């Protein structure tokens, strides 16, 4: 016999890409009833005008984001611009599960927050990356998520880099003081605001770097994760580039190999780290992750190689920035927090080609 | 109380795009157990090598396509090249539900088959387009599918054009003697065989017409459908072009308006035709279908306008060629044939952006 | 011995896509010296900020668009939004060659202008489509361009459809009362203004129709052209869709074949019409135009087929909307007006793949 | 007065992407007459069948590649698969300028050749990267190219990484013992052979790594270059990924900063290195290279930043793999070898958007 609960979920920021993806996943989640869908400037309009792909919800009317519309739900997902979550969350009861897809509650160090985001720190919430290998893998972040009522959903690039390199960090096989990560990122990662540099004319046929030289806001979050994994000190060079795809992140992360470590040990560490994970898969040797294989799925595909000439481990992660990178992470964390099976309602199969 | 059956399904042609999509849908179908997955030249290899996005099936081994591997299943889906289905099907019992994603059993007229496909006609099976408006809409094709054990799954372009224009044909509002359809088609519609003109280098940044001038094999199938709808005579100019997307068909179909018909009657006919259809949606006035809104979903989005200057109705359909155009149509027909709820296991929500 | 003149050319709207393309062509035009480059909201900024691909001009400073900056040039190219040209042009002397890439001076019929553009008609200038077959081909539009000092550059979609179908109209082989044109269009055709529906996230992986049902502003211009070619009455159903490419138009235009006309006569008419044209090429039988083959070039590739089942001629044109569709047409017309060889400075070779 | 010579050039491998691009550039080169165009399996066919964008050459007939067809030209460009050049070149006289776009004659170290290419070493030719900073910039590679009759054209990825990082190597500002380069590469870099993993269906919407972990054949060539620049020891981690564009390379190369070096010194070194280079441009501070800005042009755009947190310099290069990465490099080297102005016939302006 299977017990069912029905969880009533409100989604704020429902006209944007992250909010839309949360709704896509929730619409086929067997234990969820979708409550209020709210927006800011689009309040009053049909959801179908903004999210024509969400057929089962196309006739829903967007309400204004605010405590009055969000109250009365078991769960509230906030898919708002950075800096907008704290005020909304403060108006919601402690018994409500609030999942913040924005950055506001991810960083522990208030100084780091201010250095990278330029505003006051809103505080820190439990971190929604269940596969994070705490204390060199002696436990995982999912152990800290059961029963919580606040979750900071990780950044999409952060998840890609962290999942890619953490097995080597946890096993002590790689040095963390000179990490280099370069990412090919799809345009939905840049949001839905109308900006000239995000136009299709600009993006088609081009690869476009941004936030080069240590300025990207995801850097302190990755460093924080790897310290939780067990690194003493972390230094990361991080460079993303937009490439002509709507979704997907391909993260190439390299680290110096600790001298004397064998390639077979490296592979074993990666395989072991994710052997029991439902959503993070180390591919067979010789097969490399592609972003298309993760489109629409809550999966991260990982592969690792040892470059003995260069003395570096190269780890590659592919994931869908809107699913495992955002909305899927939110739903996965929600499942854990509520005591549901962790995989409930989350697609394993990608939409490819 | 809900009754459950478990249907054991084999998929032949599992290394290709259509076969892969059938497997993607079946993997989340609650009443299905996936049995044999078979292929030709890839037999013996892991499915994950060819379909790395199908994570739950990645460890499955491809078997050789043949009666011995396909026997012992309740359902067999054939996703084989045109001309290869008949021989395989002949070896399967009459009690097995066989769904042919190829063209072999679609056409009634053997002469048409030979004219367009150049081989012997394999016979005609019940046609897997449940929404087809038979006899001017007095009944629908789904009425003919209950309990059948053979289904010819429609061509993807055929479904797009038929769903777009049939409401006007059924209602007698448009003339069928001078139809014009032009389609923008994604590359997966051209299959997975390695051919120079299908290379990414050739397709990126280009629009590429093919089968221009009345030679496309989907033409007689569309004409057959519209005669079933009620047209006396059908003449169709049909031009497809490949455009740089992996999936999707955007079909623009125009027909001369019958003199004296009002625009409001046109809209009403289209809305009425699909008012109760779970997968075919006429959009609100002024909103036009985009293929992205149907990616991965079993939906077809339709819109219609009357161009009074030109005296023509313009109907636009967007669908995913691999889902509503192929694999979703197969599963939808399977559901009907087996007496399951028609929508079982079929996604309504597209993966967008 | 070759005589050289140096023509001083100003470009207005230099921060946009059309203006940038005019500058790209002019930068390698052997008889041109580029003078003022002007813009509206970007005045004062470096051209290289907005057009980083124009390396030889990257250090140029954008000036404000106005009579004072544009005066003192032999030629002024206006690449401004519709409705903005007339006022600027009025301030320029009659001895200055002014080429308007906008729509303002294309239509003869003021009522048509107002119906489709909703403002007052600015008057009509000589039309910059040299290959237009006036009076059934007894002369061509280039004959009317020598020595002129005002040129209305045609619309990009207009050029594609006109070049595709006019040989049949001129030769009396096709009926013009029921034309159907459907176009796949690259995003640069929609301009550089930041709008949500033009974002890369929206366009990648999608085909997006717009201005369906007889509302597109290029319709009266095509009809006007075909009347100049010799049609008594013209009726056109016209449907464009954006597809994921930065440049390019693939126009499929169909017309009913006049009864009794042979396919060989059709081909001969098309071949003859363009036999001596430097930029419009009818491809060998069986080869179909692709937009990639025209990228960056001032060419239009044309192919035609007779669909005897449907009783229709299908003509396909590929061109680069920013070159033969806009900037190349401007330079070609400039060459003619100034008495330079028509092909001066215009690329024949496309940038493919 | 300008002296003109006419150089007769044959192109071998004319049906492929590199050969086609050589022809595109040569067709507008004022001192070149294109002679034989040769191919292997396509010999006897029209060039226009394989290169429909090369309009001025579309009627040329492909001849068989061989000494008899290639003889009698002043210049022969070989755009053949790796390993095929040596035999052809051996049959050409020492007075003929032979430019090899393949890898056969790039590496000095025969053991490296065998380790990465697995065949016998064909010998070493003068290296066609004029901007290479030999001996810490005391001279440049162009000094060694005047009058030569054999040129090994560099690899496309090699050029991108070398141009990006060499200013810091020459100036002694960066360490070369732990370089990391990650590249986003367009599909034409993978050639025109029909392979499943290069299909448009596979590439669209995906980022696809390859040759990960120190196996890419361009690694020893980059290391060789940087030793020529002045590095004592070079170690490079190199990871390319195909992204959905037909052309272009975006190379992100990072190196540890030598302790104590100021960011302003870094910028000055990069600006100085390329101040007089016609084709390599360091962008203004804050502006990052995009591949679209180099499409079709012989330019490389470079930008550099110092990431003080990570202690690394990040250099980004954008170029067109078929132009500055291959065909443009060949023509530029040809110009130097023949004593023509180096920039003759080479486009500076990219085709964007």
Residues 19-58 of C with CB under 8 A from D: 20, 24, 27-28, 46, 48-49, 51-56, 58
Active site (annotated) includes residue B156: yes
| pLDDT band, very low/low/confident/very high, at D3 (cuts 50, 70, 90) | low
Say if residue A350's pLDDT is above 60: yes
CB-based contact B204 D17, cutoff 8 Å: no
Chain D residues close to B198, C-beta within 8 Å: 194, 199-201
pLDDT of residue C3: 61
Count of CB atoms within 10 A of residue A341's CB?
12
CB-based contact A208 D288, cutoff 8 Å: yes
Q: Which of D55, D297, D301 sits opposite C348 (nearest CB)?
A: D55
Q: Which of C212, C306, C352 sits opposite B314 (nearest CB)?
A: C212
Percent of chain C with pLDDT over 70: 99
Q: Does C352 touch chain B (CB under 8 A)?
A: yes
Say if residue B244's pLDDT is above 90: yes
Average pLDDT, integer, range A200-216:
96
Q: Return the beta strands (E) in chain A as ranges.
A: 7-12, 32-39, 63-64, 75-78, 97-100, 133-134, 139-140, 150-152, 179-185, 208-209, 236-242, 249-256, 280-282, 300-307, 312-319
* Nearest alpha-carbon partner for D321 in D210, D204, D240, D236: D240
Q: How far is A287 from chain B (nearest CA, A)?
A: 8
Output the 3-class SS for A33-80. Answer: EEEEEEECCCCCCEHHHHCCCEHHHCCCECEECCHHHHCCCCEEEECC
Cα(C62)–Cα(C40) distance, integer angstroms: 9
pLDDT tens, D102-133?
A: 999 999 999 999 999 998 899 999 999 999 99
- Pick the residue from chain D with its C-alpha nearest to A312: D237
Percent of chain D with pLDDT over 90: 96
| pLDDT band, very low/low/confident/very high, at A3 (cuts 50, 70, 90) | low
| Residues 6 or more apart in contact with residue B31 via CB below 8 angstroms | B4, B5, B6, B7, B340, B344, B345
First to last CA, chain C: 38
pLDDT of residue A333: 98
pLDDT of residue B3: 60
User: Rg of chain B's alpha carbons, rounded to an integer?
Assistant: 20
Q: Does B59 touch chain A (CB under 8 A)?
A: no
pLDDT tens, D149-197?
A: 999 999 999 999 999 999 999 999 999 999 999 999 999 999 999 999 9
CB-based contact A301 B52, cutoff 8 Å: yes
Average pLDDT, integer, range C148-169:
98
pLDDT of residue A2: 54
Q: Which of A202, A214, A289 sits opposite D310 (nearest CB)?
A: A214
| pLDDT band, very low/low/confident/very high, at B2 (cuts 50, 70, 90) | low
Q: Under a CB-based contact definition with an 8 Å cutoff, are residues B238 and B219 in contact?
A: yes
DSSP character at residue C327: I
pLDDT of residue A83: 87
Lowest-confidence range among A44-48, C114-118, C288-292, D312-316? C114-118
Average pLDDT, integer, range B299-322:
98
Looking at the whole model, is its pTM more than 0.90? yes
Cα(A254)–Cα(A236) distance, integer angstroms: 10
Domain layout of chain D by residue ranges = 7-153+326-338, 157-319
Average pLDDT, integer, range C46-61:
98
Fold adopted by D7-153+326-338:
Rossmann fold (3.40.50)
pLDDT of residue B5: 78
Cα(A151)–Cα(A148) distance, integer angstroms: 7
CB-based contact B53 A350, cutoff 8 Å: yes
| Residues 6 or more apart in contact with residue A88 via CB below 8 angstroms | A12, A65, A66, A67, A70, A78, A80
Cα(A69)–Cα(D59) distance, integer angstroms: 69
Per the listing, tokens 């004062």 go with C44
Pairing of strands A150-152, C300-307: unpaired
Count of CB atoms within 10 A of residue A271's CB?
15
What are the two backbone dihedrals, phi and then psi, of residue D26, each rounded to the nearest 5 degrees?
Answer: -65, -30
pLDDT tens, B281-290?
A: 999 999 999 9
Count of CB atoms within 10 A of residue C203's CB?
31
- Reduced to 3 DSSP states, what percent helix, strand and coil does chain D have, rounded to the nearest 5? 30, 25, 45
Query: Count of residues for chain A?
Result: 353
CB-based contact A246 D205, cutoff 8 Å: yes
| pLDDT band, very low/low/confident/very high, at B82 (cuts 50, 70, 90) | confident
Say if residue C2's pLDDT is above 80: no
For domain D157-319, the CATH superfamily is: Dihydrodipicolinate Reductase; domain 2 (3.30.360.10)
Cα(C178)–Cα(B177) distance, integer angstroms: 13
- Pick the residue from chain C with its C-alpha nearest to A187: C201
Cα(A93)–Cα(A67) distance, integer angstroms: 10
Cα(D66)–Cα(D46) distance, integer angstroms: 18
pLDDT tens, A287-305?
A: 999 999 999 999 999 999 9
Active-site positions of D? 156
Instruction: Write b or e for each residue in B57-88: b if 16 or more Cβ atoms lie within 10 A of its Cβ, otherwise e.
Output: bbebebbebeeebbeebbbbbbbbeeebbbeb
Q: Does C246 touch chain B (CB under 8 A)?
A: yes
| pLDDT band, very low/low/confident/very high, at C83 (cuts 50, 70, 90) | confident
CB-based contact A48 B284, cutoff 8 Å: yes
Residues 204-223 of A with CB under 8 A from C: 204-205
What are the two backbone dihedrals, phi and then psi, of residue D208, each rounded to the nearest 5 degrees?
Answer: -130, 105
pLDDT of residue D2: 54
CB-based contact C205 B248, cutoff 8 Å: yes
Average pLDDT, integer, range B74-84:
94
Chain B residues close to A287, C-beta within 8 Å: 48-49, 52
Say if residue A217's pLDDT is above 80: yes
Say if residue C332's pLDDT is above 80: yes
Q: Under a CB-based contact definition with an 8 Å cutoff, are residues D157 and D318 in contact?
A: no
């Amino acid at each position: 016999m299977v017990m069912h609960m029905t969880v009533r979920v409100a989604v704020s920021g429902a006209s944007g890409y992250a909010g839309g993806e949360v709704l896509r996943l929730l619409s086929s989640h067997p234990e969820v009833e979708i409550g209020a869908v709210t927006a800011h400037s689009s309040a009053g309009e049909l959801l179908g005008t903004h999210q024509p792909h969400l057929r089962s919800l196309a006739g829903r009317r967007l309400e204004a984001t605010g405590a009055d519309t969000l109250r009365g739900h078991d769960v509230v997902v906030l898919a708002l611009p950075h800096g907008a979550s704290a005020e909304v969350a403060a108006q919601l009861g402690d018994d409500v599960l609030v999942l913040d897809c924005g950055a506001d509650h991810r960083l522990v160090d208030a100084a780091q927050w201010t250095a990278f985001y330029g505003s006051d720190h809103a505080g820190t919430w439990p971190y929604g990356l269940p596969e994070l290998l705490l204390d060199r893998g002696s436990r995982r972040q999912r152990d800290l998520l059961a029963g919580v009522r606040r979750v900071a959903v990780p950044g999409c690039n952060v998840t890609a880099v962290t999942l890619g390199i953490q097995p080597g960090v946890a096993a002590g096989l790689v040095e963390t003081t000179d990490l280099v990560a370069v990412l090919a990122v799809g345009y939905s990662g840049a949001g839905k605001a109308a900006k000239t540099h995000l136009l299709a004319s600009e993006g088609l046929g081009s690869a476009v770097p941004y936030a080069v030289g240590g300025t990207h806001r995801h850097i302190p979050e990755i460093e924080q994760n790897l310290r939780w994994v067990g690194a003493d000190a972390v230094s990361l060079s991080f460079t993303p580039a937009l490439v002509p795809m709507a979704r997907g992140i391909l993260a190439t992360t390299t680290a110096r190999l600790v001298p004397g470590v064998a390639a077979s040990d490296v592979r074993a560490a990666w395989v072991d780290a994710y052997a029991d994970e439902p959503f993070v898969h180390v591919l067979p040797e010789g097969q490399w992750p592609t972003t298309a294989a993760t489109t629409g799925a809550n999966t991260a595909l990982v592969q690792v190689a040892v470059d003995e000439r260069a003395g570096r481990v190269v780890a590659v992660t592919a994931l869908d920035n809107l699913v495992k990178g955002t909305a899927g992470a939110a739903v996965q964390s929600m499942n854990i927090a509520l005591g549901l099976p962790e995989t409930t309602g989350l697609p394993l199969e990608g939409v490819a080609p």
